[in-house]
Structures are given as C-alpha cells and as structure tokens.
C-alpha cells in the first residue's frame, strides 16, 4: 500500500470516528446538564474534534450548530 493510499484510508477511518463523535456530542448536549458534564466540558470536547480532525464542511457546520446550542441558556 502506497503512502497516498495509506493517508486516504486513514482519512476514511477518521471520518467514521468523527461521525460517531459528532453523533454522541449532538445527543449528549441535548441531555440535562450536571456538575461534571456541564456546558464547558461539552464545548471543550467539540473544540477538540475541530482541532484533531480535518472536518468536511457539513461536519464543521454541525460542530458550529452544537456550539450555538450550548450558548443558549437551557438549550
């Protein structure tokens, strides 16, 4: 397997990880907050996803949507 194939395969695998993470974060941020898993915690998790992965436009928009929802009191 050549270097290009390896990088492409990693990107595809990373996309599955990103989608799973975004699905979880979307679900989790709709649940009632608690002292441990508060808005700051979820915001850090979302920003980590942005920093760690090369997101598609759709994924970036989804992260921004979740971040906006976190900014709404009781949101």
The structural domains of the chain, with segments of one domain joined by +, span 3-71
DSSP secondary structure, the chain, as one string: --HHHHHHHHHHHHHHHHHHHHHHHHHHTTSPP-SSS-HHHHHHHHHHHHHHS---HHHHHHHHHHHHHHHSTT-
Q: Answer yes or no: pTM beyond 0.85.
A: no
Summarised one tens digit per residue, pLDDT across range 13-64 is 688 899 999 999 999 999 988 888 999 999 999 999 999 998 999 999 999 9
């Amino acid at each position: 397997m050549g270097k290009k194939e390896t990088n492409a395969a990693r990107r595809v695998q990373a996309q599955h990880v990103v989608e799973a993470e975004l699905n979880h974060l979307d679900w989790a941020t709709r649940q009632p907050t608690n002292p441990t898993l508060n808005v700051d915690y979820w915001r850090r998790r979302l920003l980590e996803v942005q920093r760690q992965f090369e997101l598609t436009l759709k994924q970036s928009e989804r992260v921004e949507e979740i971040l906006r929802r976190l900014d709404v009191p009781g949101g």
